[in-house]
Amino acid sequence: MLRFRKLSPIAIAATVFVMLSCQAAFAGGRLLATGGVTELEGSEGGGIVPWAIIAGMETRDQVGGTAFYTHISLPNYDVDSAGVAVGIGERLELSYARETLSISNAITTPIVTALGLPLGVLDGSTISDDVIGAKLKIAGDAVYDQGSLMPQISIGAQHKVNTDFKQVLGVTGIPEVLGAKNASGTDFYLAMTKVFLGGAGGLNLLLNGTIRETEANQDGLLGFGCAPGACRAGSGGGGYSTQGEGSAAVFLNPNTAIGAEYRTMPNNLVSTQEDAWKDLFLAYFPNKQLAFTLAYAALGNFPGGISAAGITKEQANGLFLSGQVSFP
């Protein structure tokens, strides 16, 4: 948490700088809002689901990109994510994001006490994932293929490295304590996105469906897979499982969209139940370079604490705020 507080003024300053430098100096070749926003893992998409759209405001003969910052405020957790993406010719997207889960002492102190560890050893705990992503558009065009049902189709991968799987000083990290097997993993996905111009009673409608192969626990924030003996019955031993994700959005006007997302999760670990992630969002595009997202996110259960029966559940519902700068 401390680390994040030190970082945030720099992140804000950098964002403001990029915002100012983008004002009117460049004009994206793409139409307003057709670059979407950035999802938590750094890929172009909605708030929590990667879409088939390629990041940036570039067209096929340009290079573009995005920078984003997302904060989710949950009762005893915060999720922060920041990253950048490059879009090459509206065909290939390369992205990097760092996601951080900050855990309140209200969660960690009872665990420390129960395990007999020195008091305060887990104060201000954070768990981070570095996510390197690549996405390739393979067919269709979400916006221009009107009059047919053909969506834009992209395939992508997200390689995630949990940098707090094992903590320093030989103390086992939280993901490992919860029974996760690996500190890194790679998600593979296929995304289909279609915009129906005038498709919702005259308003523009966006539909997205994504199929993901993943081993990640809570997006990788709680590691990957499950160690022998730590797997939930029916989880298939914590290997790759197929998850489904969907987004729907309606543009109330050219600058404003409302929508909802749903994303299923593997639920590998017996120690802590993992549920589908959901959100309801409002996205505002004041111009081609900026996008702001306000959402209510319901991320299911996170570990709540420790009791005689094991780890308790914590409802992870809260406010989701995100900002994105796009170029050219």
Partner 1 sequence: MHTVRRITMVLGAALLIAVLIPCRPAAAATLYDQLGQKPGITKVLVDMVGFIVDDGRIAHYFAHADVPHLEGELVDQVCYVTGGPCTYTGKSMAAAHQGMHITEADFNALVEDLEKSMNKNEVPIPLQNRLIGLLAPLLGPVTYK
> Which residues of the chain form contacts with partner 1 (CB under 8 A)?
27, 29-31, 59-62, 141, 143-147, 196-205, 250, 253-254
Neighbours of 123 (CB within 10 A): 14
Question: Minimum Å distance from CB 28 to partner 1?
Answer: 8
Question: Minimum Å distance from CB 194 to partner 1?
Answer: 12
**CB contact at 8 A, 215 and 235:** no
Residue 287 pairs in a beta bridge with 290
d(CA 111, CA 306): 6
d(CA 151, CA 167): 44
Chain center to CA of 161:
14
Question: Minimum Å distance from CB 323 to partner 1?
Answer: 24
Main-chain phi, psi angles of 171, to 5 degrees:
-80, 135
Question: Minimum Å distance from CB 19 to partner 1?
Answer: 21
DSSP characters over 67-129? EEEEEEE-SSEEEEEEEEEEEETTTEEEEEEEEEEEE-HHHHHHHHHHHTPPTTTTTT-EEEE
Q: Which is nearer to partner 1, 35 or 225 (CB)?
A: 35
d(CA 78, CA 103): 7
Question: Minimum Å distance from CB 198 to partner 1?
Answer: 4
- Please give the C-alpha separations between residue 315 and each of 14, 81, 266, 274, 323, in angstroms, as whole numbers: 33, 20, 18, 11, 25
With 0-12 CB in 10 A as exposed, 13-18 as middle and 19+ as buried, what is 305? middle
Q: Which is nearer to partner 1, 7 or 203 (CB)?
A: 203
Question: Minimum Å distance from CB 35 to partner 1?
Answer: 12
Question: Minimum Å distance from CB 87 to partner 1?
Answer: 13
d(CA 242, CA 244): 7
Q: Which is nearer to partner 1, 280 or 321 (CB)?
A: 280
Q: Which is nearer to partner 1, 145 or 213 (CB)?
A: 145
- Can you read off the two tokens belonging to residue 237? 């031993």
